Amino acid sequence: MNPQGALFFLLDFVFSAYIFIVLTRFVLQLARADFYNPISQFVLKATNPLLKPLRRIIPGYGGLDIAALVLVVALIILKTVILLSIQVGGFPSGIGAALVLHALRELASLILNYVFWTVLIRVLLSWVAPDPYSPVVRIIVQVTEPIMAPVRKLLPPMGGFDLSPLFVLLGIQLLQILFQLH
Protein backbone atom coordinates (compact mmCIF):
# COMPACT_ATOMS: atom_id res chain seq x y z
CA MET A 1 0.00 0.00 0.00
CA ASN A 2 1.39 3.39 -0.93
CA PRO A 3 1.63 6.21 1.67
CA GLN A 4 -1.27 8.10 0.06
CA GLY A 5 -3.50 4.99 0.29
CA ALA A 6 -2.50 4.42 3.90
CA LEU A 7 -3.30 8.04 4.78
CA PHE A 8 -6.64 7.76 2.98
CA PHE A 9 -7.49 4.57 4.92
CA LEU A 10 -6.42 6.03 8.26
CA LEU A 11 -8.37 9.27 7.84
CA ASP A 12 -11.43 7.40 6.60
CA PHE A 13 -11.30 5.11 9.64
CA VAL A 14 -10.79 7.93 12.17
CA PHE A 15 -13.61 10.06 10.74
CA SER A 16 -15.97 7.09 10.44
CA ALA A 17 -15.29 5.97 14.01
CA TYR A 18 -15.88 9.45 15.44
CA ILE A 19 -19.02 9.93 13.34
CA PHE A 20 -20.26 6.60 14.75
CA ILE A 21 -19.57 7.78 18.32
CA VAL A 22 -21.41 11.10 17.79
CA LEU A 23 -24.32 9.27 16.17
CA THR A 24 -24.34 6.89 19.14
CA ARG A 25 -24.70 9.88 21.45
CA PHE A 26 -27.66 11.13 19.40
CA VAL A 27 -29.30 7.69 19.49
CA LEU A 28 -28.66 7.23 23.22
CA GLN A 29 -30.31 10.56 23.98
CA LEU A 30 -33.19 9.83 21.63
CA ALA A 31 -33.79 6.44 23.29
CA ARG A 32 -33.30 7.97 26.74
CA ALA A 33 -30.72 5.32 27.55
CA ASP A 34 -29.02 5.04 30.92
CA PHE A 35 -26.27 7.65 30.96
CA TYR A 36 -24.60 6.04 33.96
CA ASN A 37 -23.77 3.03 31.80
CA PRO A 38 -19.99 2.82 31.16
CA ILE A 39 -20.55 2.85 27.40
CA SER A 40 -22.68 5.98 27.68
CA GLN A 41 -20.02 7.62 29.82
CA PHE A 42 -17.37 6.86 27.21
CA VAL A 43 -19.57 8.32 24.46
CA LEU A 44 -20.23 11.45 26.53
CA LYS A 45 -16.56 12.04 27.26
CA ALA A 46 -15.54 11.40 23.65
CA THR A 47 -18.11 13.79 22.17
CA ASN A 48 -18.22 16.59 24.75
CA PRO A 49 -15.17 18.51 23.43
CA LEU A 50 -16.92 19.22 20.11
CA LEU A 51 -20.55 19.15 21.21
CA LYS A 52 -20.40 21.45 24.24
CA PRO A 53 -19.38 24.55 22.26
CA LEU A 54 -21.76 23.65 19.44
CA ARG A 55 -24.68 23.38 21.87
CA ARG A 56 -24.23 27.02 22.83
CA ILE A 57 -25.05 27.93 19.23
CA ILE A 58 -27.50 25.15 18.31
CA PRO A 59 -30.07 24.24 20.98
CA GLY A 60 -31.99 21.00 21.13
CA TYR A 61 -35.55 20.84 19.87
CA GLY A 62 -38.31 18.55 21.13
CA GLY A 63 -35.94 16.13 22.82
CA LEU A 64 -33.70 15.90 19.75
CA ASP A 65 -30.03 16.74 20.05
CA ILE A 66 -29.82 18.92 16.93
CA ALA A 67 -26.22 19.88 17.71
CA ALA A 68 -25.17 16.22 17.46
CA LEU A 69 -26.88 15.86 14.08
CA VAL A 70 -25.25 19.06 12.83
CA LEU A 71 -21.88 17.78 14.05
CA VAL A 72 -22.40 14.47 12.21
CA VAL A 73 -23.28 16.32 8.99
CA ALA A 74 -20.27 18.64 9.41
CA LEU A 75 -17.97 15.68 10.02
CA ILE A 76 -19.32 13.88 6.95
CA ILE A 77 -18.70 17.01 4.85
CA LEU A 78 -15.20 17.46 6.29
CA LYS A 79 -14.40 13.78 5.74
CA THR A 80 -15.62 13.96 2.13
CA VAL A 81 -13.63 17.13 1.41
CA ILE A 82 -10.42 15.74 2.91
CA LEU A 83 -10.73 12.35 1.23
CA LEU A 84 -11.62 13.91 -2.12
CA SER A 85 -8.61 16.21 -1.82
CA ILE A 86 -6.34 13.23 -1.18
CA GLN A 87 -7.89 11.17 -3.96
CA VAL A 88 -7.93 13.74 -6.76
CA GLY A 89 -5.12 15.98 -5.57
CA GLY A 90 -7.32 18.96 -4.73
CA PHE A 91 -10.89 19.90 -4.00
CA PRO A 92 -13.15 20.40 -7.03
CA SER A 93 -14.94 23.75 -7.01
CA GLY A 94 -18.66 24.31 -7.33
CA ILE A 95 -19.92 21.24 -5.47
CA GLY A 96 -21.10 22.91 -2.25
CA ALA A 97 -24.81 22.11 -2.58
CA ALA A 98 -24.06 18.58 -3.80
CA LEU A 99 -21.79 18.10 -0.79
CA VAL A 100 -24.54 19.09 1.66
CA LEU A 101 -27.04 16.79 -0.09
CA HIS A 102 -24.49 13.99 0.00
CA ALA A 103 -23.98 14.56 3.75
CA LEU A 104 -27.74 14.50 4.48
CA ARG A 105 -28.16 11.35 2.41
CA GLU A 106 -25.20 9.78 4.22
CA LEU A 107 -26.74 10.76 7.58
CA ALA A 108 -30.02 9.05 6.68
CA SER A 109 -28.14 5.97 5.54
CA LEU A 110 -26.04 5.91 8.72
CA ILE A 111 -29.10 6.15 10.96
CA LEU A 112 -30.89 3.33 9.12
CA ASN A 113 -27.76 1.16 9.16
CA TYR A 114 -27.26 1.93 12.84
CA VAL A 115 -30.77 0.79 13.69
CA PHE A 116 -30.48 -2.26 11.41
CA TRP A 117 -27.28 -3.48 13.03
CA THR A 118 -28.39 -2.83 16.62
CA VAL A 119 -31.62 -4.77 16.04
CA LEU A 120 -29.67 -7.58 14.38
CA ILE A 121 -27.19 -7.68 17.27
CA ARG A 122 -30.10 -7.80 19.71
CA VAL A 123 -31.55 -10.77 17.83
CA LEU A 124 -28.20 -12.56 17.88
CA LEU A 125 -27.77 -11.82 21.58
CA SER A 126 -31.21 -13.28 22.30
CA TRP A 127 -30.00 -16.61 20.90
CA VAL A 128 -27.06 -16.88 23.31
CA ALA A 129 -28.82 -15.60 26.45
CA PRO A 130 -26.17 -13.08 27.57
CA ASP A 131 -25.91 -11.52 31.00
CA PRO A 132 -28.82 -9.02 31.13
CA TYR A 133 -26.76 -6.76 33.39
CA SER A 134 -23.93 -6.43 30.86
CA PRO A 135 -23.48 -2.75 29.88
CA VAL A 136 -23.47 -3.67 26.17
CA VAL A 137 -26.66 -5.72 26.38
CA ARG A 138 -28.46 -3.04 28.39
CA ILE A 139 -27.57 -0.30 25.89
CA ILE A 140 -28.61 -2.41 22.90
CA VAL A 141 -31.96 -3.22 24.51
CA GLN A 142 -32.52 0.43 25.49
CA VAL A 143 -31.71 1.63 21.96
CA THR A 144 -33.83 -0.94 20.12
CA GLU A 145 -36.85 -1.15 22.41
CA PRO A 146 -38.42 2.20 21.33
CA ILE A 147 -38.42 0.89 17.75
CA MET A 148 -39.48 -2.67 18.43
CA ALA A 149 -42.19 -2.06 21.07
CA PRO A 150 -44.68 -0.32 18.71
CA VAL A 151 -44.20 -3.07 16.11
CA ARG A 152 -44.67 -5.73 18.79
CA LYS A 153 -48.00 -4.14 19.78
CA LEU A 154 -49.26 -4.34 16.18
CA LEU A 155 -48.49 -8.05 15.83
CA PRO A 156 -50.85 -10.71 17.17
CA PRO A 157 -49.49 -13.11 19.82
CA MET A 158 -47.29 -15.74 18.18
CA GLY A 159 -46.97 -18.30 20.94
CA GLY A 160 -43.89 -16.86 22.58
CA PHE A 161 -42.11 -15.84 19.38
CA ASP A 162 -41.22 -12.18 18.95
CA LEU A 163 -41.32 -11.38 15.25
CA SER A 164 -40.99 -7.62 15.73
CA PRO A 165 -37.25 -7.63 14.84
CA LEU A 166 -38.04 -9.28 11.53
CA PHE A 167 -40.57 -6.60 10.64
CA VAL A 168 -38.26 -3.80 11.79
CA LEU A 169 -35.38 -5.17 9.69
CA LEU A 170 -37.67 -5.57 6.66
CA GLY A 171 -38.96 -2.02 7.16
CA ILE A 172 -35.42 -0.63 7.27
CA GLN A 173 -34.48 -2.53 4.11
CA LEU A 174 -37.63 -1.21 2.40
CA LEU A 175 -36.75 2.38 3.37
CA GLN A 176 -33.20 1.93 2.07
CA ILE A 177 -34.52 0.61 -1.23
CA LEU A 178 -37.18 3.33 -1.57
CA PHE A 179 -34.72 6.12 -0.89
CA GLN A 180 -31.80 4.34 -2.61
CA LEU A 181 -29.57 4.65 0.44
CA HIS A 182 -27.35 1.64 -0.18
**What's the distance, Cα to Cα, between the start and end of the chain in Å?**
27
Mean pLDDT for the chain overall: 88
Please give the Cα distance from 169 to 30 (Å, whole number). 19
Range of the domain at 149: 3-178
pLDDT tens, position by position, 95-152: 777 888 889 999 999 999 999 999 999 999 988 877 878 899 999 999 999 999 999 9
pLDDT tens, position by position, 65-81: 899 999 999 999 999 88
Q: What is the mean pLDDT of residues 19-33?
A: 94
52 and 33 Cβ atoms separated by less than 8 Å: no
Give me the number of domains the chain comprises: 1
Question: By C-alpha distance, which of 121, 133, 116 is closest to 173?
Answer: 116
Its pTM stands at 0.87
